[in-house]
Amino acid sequence: MTIHSHPFPSAIRSASIEPAAALSAEGAALIDRIYEAAALPELWREVLVELARFAGAPQAVMIVSTGTHFRDFVTTSPEFDPLVIDHFERFPDNVRIGRLLALRHPGFLNDLDVVTEEEIATLPLYQDFLIPRGYGAGTATAVLVPSGDSVIVHCERARAEGDFGPQILSALNSLRPHLARAALLSARLEMERVSTTTRTLESLGLPAAVLGSGGRVIDANPSLVAMMPHTLSDQPLRLAVVDPAADRLLREAVAQSASPQAMPVRSIPIAASGERPPVILHLVPIRGAAHDVFVRARFVLIATPVVAQDVPSADVVQGLFDLTPAEARLAALIAAGDAPAPAAAKLGITPSTARSVLRRIFQKTGVSRQAELVGLLAGRGAGSGLRE
């Protein structure tokens, strides 16, 4: 990305030669908290709250990015998370992050260190997004970690308040070496935990990935990578399914996971394609104590190919698709070749009830016809024979 041609502002020149300000008691206490978060990643949100207060800003965020494409983040509050996601979805080639990374400056920089006044007055990032929401003045620093990612620590306040002053930048620069070391340690610890999870699932013969906010891939084992690009696609903002119907279900599952009423697991069928069998994706949210260990991780995704075989039992069908016992029993009979009326008689329910249950089964499995349901459960294509 091209950096604007005007000379570096004095803030950059002075930051590289002036000694950091003496640490206050507040700053010393914050350093202790930073190192706690290195070993206990669940504390990063609290650290960012204290860092924002230290800088005189309402919000702070720690972003993990690959190049200019962000992979994950931690913010000061859950309420701030949707704005960060929306920000990166609307502006994937973020001018502030791109120029911050290009400068490789060993300290905190302001907006006017990376953009001009004219750009602030004209760029949609500022005029259409940040400033109307009460932001637009940021200070940030970037730390490169051995994984090839960059960890960006960023404080944000209203554009009307102006850029952060030299005294605040000096105080933040006193914290930067500690933030850098803690971010490095934290990133290594979490990636090791994530890699252990995907390696363990690989040893069990399960293609799997650990996903971050919005469904971005943090780590994937070789079996799941082998499903790309014909079945899955690792896009900059999220893991996608090549099949549009299944991709819609995956997007909905990720979006709905934040709801307290969200199901603990979501199973998403992918239809057979050519010689490839159907696949069931199991999306398992990481919550509670597990989320304390995997701070950047939001989901474990496991893929189960449905190989051609006899129709599975009702218990297996229930587990694959989050069906109720009644739905699973009907699905197993339909998949075995029964039409709704004979299946209803075997289950002791009316044909109209069977049709209602079947509609719920279609919704949960992502199919629209009985033939597709049979093909999905028996590991064959949707064209498998069935009495409608």
Question: pLDDT band at residue 113, thresholds of 50, 70 and 90?
Answer: very high
Tokens coding 14: 């002075």
Mean pLDDT comparison of 107-121, 187-201, 343-357, 362-376, highest-scoring range: 107-121
Helices (H) and strands (E) in the chain, counts: 16, 12
* 14-23, 110-119, 270-279, 359-368: least confidently modelled range: 14-23
pLDDT mean across residues, the chain: 78
Question: pLDDT band at residue 290, thresholds of 50, 70 and 90?
Answer: very low
Instruction: State yes or no: pLDDT of 12 exceeds 80.
Output: no
pLDDT at 269: 81
pTM higher than 0.75, yes or no? no
Which residues on neighbouring strands pair with residue 79, listed in sequence order?
A: none
- What distance in Å separates the CA atoms of residue 166 and residue 244, rounded to the nearest whole number? 51
- How much is the average pLDDT of 335-355? 87
Residue 117 burial class via C-beta count within 10 angstroms: exposed 0-12, middle 13-18, buried 19 and up: exposed
Around Cβ 7, how many Cβ atoms within 10 Å?
8
Instruction: State yes or no: pLDDT of 263 exceeds 70.
Output: no
* 63-67, 164-168, 170-174, 299-303: least confidently modelled range: 63-67
The pLDDT > 70 percentage for the chain reads 77
CA-wise closest residue to 262 among 286, 244, 293, 281: 286
